[in-house]
Chain A
Amino acid sequence: MPERTMIQIDDVTKSYGDFHALDHATLTIKEGEFFSLLGPSGCGKTTLLRMIAGLDQPTSGSISIDGQPMDGIPANARPTNMVFQSYAIFPHLKVGENVAYGLKRLKLGAVEEKRRVTEALEMVSLAGLDNRGATELSGGQRQRVALARALVMRPKVLLLDEPLSALDKKLREQMQVELRRLQQAVGITFILVTHDQYEALAMSDRIAVMFGGRIAQIASPKEIYQRPVNRQVADFLGGMNFVKAEIVEENGQSITVDTQGFGRVKTERPPAFAPAGRSATLGIRPERLRVRWDDATAKHEVKGTVIERHYFGEITHLLVEIPGMEKPLSVTETNDFGADDLPLGATIRLGYDPDALVAMAE
């Protein structure tokens, strides 16, 4: 993948009165990247996306697309196209006319226009539906029409605002795979807005996690999931056990901490780690704690008592009380060794990899 910058967002702020919907955001998106803006509802994702599209103007800061500053360039002259959250299918036009909407202005000639519409509809598996009325479509089909209508314009950047949130779970998962495949086939830069962490993790090359108008972390899905920069990001990306820690020793690569429950631990020092003073928080994902079924004592393990058990089919969630820790540990274990049969009150040992304990800011 070429490492060319496609979108440069430079210190952009969007204010409504005293309220900052987006607060000094700086972000670089590479050409051909599948980039996600992830965060809870109201954190400013749509605001940022609309400013890239040109539908809203930044209060301060600048945006450039493909090296060109976008100040003063209206939405209809930008090399971006958008799939709106509500899909915004024109109700008075047929499917084919919807897809051809933006092409009309380009005066391609009837044959070429028809060819491109057919091609776009095939791309989203809607071939042959040209003459269907826009109001006679299911939610999934509407989403595909919106996608085809944007892709047919061959934009440099495709903007997608929660495109899958209106679909049911099964269709959504299927579309995630399809959308990712489509992006790789066309090679266009995709910017996806979502509040669904699994969606962002499954589809993106990189993710920006946002809270309250600020970007908290920008990294690959794996990095974001495994090494969140703070508790807020960690929590948003899924379950995480937090352990209070005192820093004993610190260098460029590793830190050594004293913890409640886990004792003294030496672990990797994340590049973005910036502790305030000597206290830090360590986090470990529930699935990185594994129940030890053998009798051999491992080097890294904690002992505790099962106090709750929840069965989820292929996995079981356990709550395990560890002496010396305020909160019980949450553990996710596969059922192949009988985690679903562990009696409450049983004493178990949990093994872990010290590098799975991630140091982060409060």
Chain B
Amino acid sequence: MTAALEGTTPYRAPRAAPASFLKSEEAKGYTLIAPPFLYALALLGLPIVVVIAHSFWSQTYLTVDTTLTLDNYRQALFEPIYQDLLLRSLFISLTVSVTTVCLAYPVAYFISFHGGRHKGLWLFVITIPFWTSYLLRVMSWKVILGYSGVLNSALMGLGITDEPSSALLYNSTAVLITLTHAWVAFAILPIFVSLEKVDRTLIEAATDLGDGPVRSFLRVTLPLSLPGVIAALLIVMIPTVGDYVTPKMVGGTDGVMIANAIQAQFGRAMNKPLGAALSVTTMLAVTAMAFVSVMSLRALVRAFR
């Protein structure tokens, strides 16, 4: 027998003639997405165009000179202060996103595989911290990590340290801790969703073919939940690069990030074109980092096969 005999041609809807485009499914689809699309175009697309345009202009006192120049980019890329800030921001964002995903995965796995009838309740519990504002949560980390804060008192009370440490707050570690805590729930959700979609029979099939629990996890569960892991990684990585509230509140001078510099250029320093060039550079850099991270993650998971 031939395998080809069994192949069935999928049913294709006949192509709508151009004349009836306005009545076609396609037209309906476009009509449906038109309002949000136009909204997004106006509020996302246009500002980006304005920023990109500014980055090629220059500031002369109070006005902007619109002759094209690459000066801003030269400054953004080669001045040590901006290099440092950008690298630190990328480092913090990468560390935060990887740590967050590593913390979120076991939680999502537990809820999906061992949550039983209480999955909904577990997810609800995870969202509870979000009932307070982000600023309050950052402030509470100040209380925990501060010189006379909870952590220092606890360490001294237990006799582990003799005097309070000032090394806990106002540095990049404090930024890391605060950001990780802030984002972990956002990472749990996409991972949970993709774990829910993993057909449990596939894991049984892997077991039946000789895999123990660790191997079947690495070879079946992990690769199949990879879309959720990638989504979680990007959801955390992209916004944290540009975060400026957290470094401002718990970062001190050691924890300043690129967004703080950008804000300064648009504000006090009154150099919008340089601020724009820094923004564009950051956007491109985080895009490149996201791309490389996703590719490495894919390669890593592929290696387990």
Q: Which residues of A contact B (CB under 8 A)?
A: 53, 55, 74-77, 80-82, 84, 86, 88, 90-93, 97, 101-102, 104-106, 125-126, 129, 138-141, 144, 149-150, 153, 171, 174, 178
Contacts and interface: CB of A to CB of B under 8 A. Distances in A.
B209 A153 contact: yes
A102 B223 CA distance: 17
A81 B208 contact: yes
Contact of B207 (A76, A106, A138, A174): A76
B220 interface: yes
Given A84-B204, A91-B224, A93-B305, 12 more contacts: A75-B204, A82-B208, A84-B205, A86-B199, A90-B205, A91-B202, A101-B206, A101-B209, A105-B210, A149-B209, A150-B209, A171-B6
A143 to B, nearest CB: 10
Given A138-B6, A140-B6, A81 B224 contact: no
B1 interface: yes
A47 B211 CA distance: 21
Interface of B: 1-3, 6-8, 199, 201-202, 204-212, 215, 219-220, 223-224, 305
A138 B7 contact: yes
Contact of A141 (B6, B207, B210, B220): B6
Contacts of B1: 125, 174, 178
Contacts of A75: 204, 207-208
21 contacts: A76-B209, A76-B210, A76-B212, A82-B205, A86-B201, A88-B199, A90-B202, A90-B206, A90-B220, A91-B202, A93-B305, A97-B305, A104-B305, A105-B210, A105-B211, A105-B215, A126-B3, A129-B3, A138-B7, A149-B209, A174-B1
Contacts of B220: 90
Nearest to A82: B208
B6 A84 contact: no
A269 to B, nearest CB: 45
A92 B3 CA distance: 22
Nearest to A80: B208
A102 B209 contact: yes
Nearest to B198: A91
A151 to B, nearest CB: 12
B304 to A, nearest CB: 10
A81 B206 CA distance: 10
Contacts of A80: 208
B212 A139 contact: no
Chain B interface SS verdict (over half)? helix
Report, nearest first, the 10 A-B pairs whose CB atoms are least far apart: A102-B209, A88-B205, A140-B6, A88-B201, A138-B6, A75-B207, A82-B208, A76-B210, A92-B223, A102-B210
Contacts, number: 73
A77 B220 CA distance: 18
Contacts of A178: 1
Query: Max chain A CB contacts within 10 Å: which of B206, B215, B224?
Result: B206
A77 B3 CA distance: 33
A53 B208 CA distance: 7
A105 B215 CA distance: 9
Contacts of B205: 82, 84, 88, 90
A38 B271 CA distance: 81
Given A86-B201, A90-B220, A81 B209 contact: yes
Contacts of A81: 208-209
Contacts of A102: 209-210
A168 to B, nearest CB: 9
Contacts of A140: 3, 6
A153 B7 contact: no
A55 B207 contact: yes
Contacts of A153: 209-210
Given A86-B201, A171-B6, A76 B305 contact: no
A191 to B, nearest CB: 14
Contacts of A141: 3, 6
Contacts of B206: 90, 101
Contacts of B209: 76, 81, 101-102, 149-150, 153
A97 B223 CA distance: 14
A153 B210 CA distance: 9
Contacts of B211: 76, 105
B299 to A, nearest CB: 14
Nearest to A81: B208
Query: Max chain A CB contacts within 10 Å: which of B202, B208, B223, B305?
Result: B208
Nearest to A101: B209
Nearest to B200: A88
Contacts of A92: 223-224
Contacts of A82: 205, 208
Nearest to B224: A92
B10 to A, nearest CB: 11
B173 to A, nearest CB: 38
Contact of B6 (A88, A93, A139, A150): A139
A125 B1 CA distance: 7
A138 B207 CA distance: 25
A55 B202 CA distance: 12
A219 to B, nearest CB: 29
A215 B44 CA distance: 68
Given A76-B210, A105-B211, A84 B3 contact: no
A77 B207 CA distance: 9
Query: Max chain B CB contacts within 10 Å: which of A90, A171, A178?
Result: A90
Contacts of A106: 210
